[in-house]
């Protein structure tokens, strides 16, 4: 019991510490972006690469409005916004911001000497289509600092994607057989236009049918074209991502 109590206390202290570190950041970001609406989704954490900075992402807006998405690097000591990205995020049947929709990805995405990206992950809490033949979530976008602006160099890659091979994703639709792909991102030693190539690895698991549990792995290289990362091919788990030349 003492061990469990100590573990729970440690986790509670970590949560309190994170809240303290990010206290006041939402207000500073809203003021810098000239946004008067409340934050409906929020994420903030110290950047391990540079603890003087906080990584943050907020979706501001009221229930009936499209949301204003603001991603910002914030000075941890002064709460001054160092660089930021702002965009209107339209909501629809498949896209909706909930309280836990945004998450910081602070993995070491070292794209070039002196250039380290960080990620924002988005998970919609929308109900979505009633009987889709494919579902996806945990969309990753990578940002790099470019002066006072943050620039997205990798946009909206679903890190979990499922596609039906038989049936559809709804109750009462008969037998469902689908493949689920879970993606990871690696930084390659090769480069394109000065930035390291990225390698997406998809671990694909068959769910249902006579091949239940079968696991395969596929990979795809993304290359930087001077503005953003593009794919060299489009497997089904990357079918919405733009191709390069």
Q: How many whole angstroms separate alpha carbon 102 and alpha carbon 85?
A: 15
Q: At residue 65, does pLDDT exceed 80?
A: no
pLDDT at 1: 47
In a domain, 51, yes or no: yes
pLDDT at 59: 94
| Model pLDDT for residues 130-185, shown as the tens digit of each residue | 667 777 889 999 999 998 999 999 998 999 998 888 877 776 656 888 899 999 99
In a domain, 243, yes or no: no
In a domain, 18, yes or no: no
| Model pLDDT for residues 48-64, shown as the tens digit of each residue | 999 999 999 999 998 77
> Whole-number mean pLDDT of the chain?
86
Q: At residue 4, does pLDDT exceed 50?
A: no
Is the sign of the CA dihedral 27, 33, 38, 44 positive or negative?
A: negative
In a domain, 14, yes or no: no
Overall number of domains in the chain: 1
In a domain, 4, yes or no: no
Dig out the tokens for 188 from the structure. 């390659």
In a domain, 107, yes or no: yes
Residue 243 three-state SS: strand
In a domain, 109, yes or no: yes
Note the pTM of the prediction, 2 decimals. Answer: 0.87
Question: What's the alpha-carbon Rg for the chain, to the nearest Å?
Answer: 20
pLDDT at 86: 96
Which segments within the chain are labelled E, that is strand?
A: 39-46, 53-60, 67-75, 81-89, 102-112, 115-122, 134-146, 149-166, 177-192, 195-207, 215-224, 229-231
Residue span of the structural domain in which 140 resides:
24-238
Q: How many whole angstroms separate alpha carbon 170 and alpha carbon 167?
A: 9
Q: At residue 5, does pLDDT exceed 70?
A: no
Question: Which residues have a Cβ under 8 Å from the Cβ of 22 and sit 6 or more positions away?
Answer: 44, 45, 54, 56
In a domain, 218, yes or no: yes
pLDDT at 208: 84
Q: Which residue has the higher pLDDT, 176 or 3?
A: 176
């Amino acid at each position: 019991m003492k061990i469990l109590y100590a573990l729970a206390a440690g986790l509670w202290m970590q949560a309190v510490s994170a809240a303290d570190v990010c206290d006041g950041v939402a207000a500073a970001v809203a003021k810098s972006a000239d946004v008067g609406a409340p934050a409906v989704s929020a994420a903030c954490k110290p950047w391990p690469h540079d603890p003087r900075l906080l990584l943050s992402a907020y979706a501001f807006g009221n229930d009936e409005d499209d949301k204003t998405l603001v991603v910002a690097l914030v000075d941890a000591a002064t709460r001054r916004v160092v660089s930021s990205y702002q965009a209107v995020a339209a909501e629809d049947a498949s896209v909706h911001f909930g309280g836990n929709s945004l998450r910081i990805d602070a993995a070491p995405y070292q794209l070039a000497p002196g250039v380290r990206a960080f990620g924002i992950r988005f998970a919609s809490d929308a109900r979505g289509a009633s009987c889709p033949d494919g579902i996806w979530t945990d969309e990753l976008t990578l940002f790099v600092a470019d002066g006072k602006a943050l620039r997205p160099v990798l946009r909206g890659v679903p890190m979990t994607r499922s596609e039906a091979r038989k049936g559809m994703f709804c109750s009462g639709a008969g037998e469902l057989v689908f493949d689920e792909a879970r993606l990871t991102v690696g930084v390659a030693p090769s480069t394109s236009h000065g930035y390291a190539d990225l390698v997406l690895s998809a671990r694909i698991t068959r769910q249902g049918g006579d091949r239940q549990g079968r696991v395969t792995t596929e990979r795809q290289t993304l290359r930087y074209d001077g503005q953003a990362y593009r794919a060299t091919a489009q497997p089904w788990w990357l079918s919405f991502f733009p191709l390069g030349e």
